[in-house]
Structure 1
């Protein structure tokens, strides 16, 4: 299992999504340190989509932890993992010396090509489009599930 994680995300969570995120972060911290870094979301009504993606990419890339294995959420070209496969993948990363993994989630427009190109792993939750707040909660739940699977603890049936 990985020893440390960073979640880099565009935008701040509110309401139910913030509550869900906080719950899973609390649970995950029993297994490894995890930090969430939020960068400001651009105003989609004031800038062209390419400008929005570029500005958000600049902020995300500045905050990437040095030496971390980079996992980006990419619905179109990401790999679909079962929960068990994700647990094995994270275990393998930890065993191969990639003890720090950074997960990057874009805003409503996704991620710019310059962020996607830096990815070591591309992860997809399937063909459906998820609101970015929900995608973050799903990611945290899957990381928690992976930690439980890796430890052989009851949670995943």
Structure 2
């Protein structure tokens, strides 16, 4: 028996036409062709949905992590640069005051008087700044928010 599809002489057993596995794969491929030809994609399974959600959240979390690291490094550099700028500003201020004192002394003003004036000027400026800071402390108390949260009855409309 030597046919094109089945040969007994060649050592092959005759294939069963229409086995369950072949029929299932033919059915699946036919349904895939029908779904793809109609333009409707196959419905995802629950495990695919979970995998997609996991991948999405993983990617978003990784992006958040990278941006947080970049923000932390930027904040650290900003703080370091601010400290450096403050040190350079203080140094420049000290050099300026020193130069003014030297200029006043070389102009004939007694050095003790010039130093006392510089100290008085700095103490006065420090007093003004501390007074301004103390005046701003009330802005840190969240007075309006606390008043709103502790109010028992709704506010009454004021008449005009």
| TM more than 0.5 | no
- Larger relative contact order, structure 1 or 2 (CA cutoff 8 Å, min sep 6): 1
Q: TM-score range by the shorter chain?
A: under 0.3
Question: Max radius of gyration: which structure?
Answer: 2
Q: TM-score under structure 1 normalisation?
A: 0.19
Q: Greater strand percent: which structure?
A: 1
TM-score (normalised: structure 2):
0.19
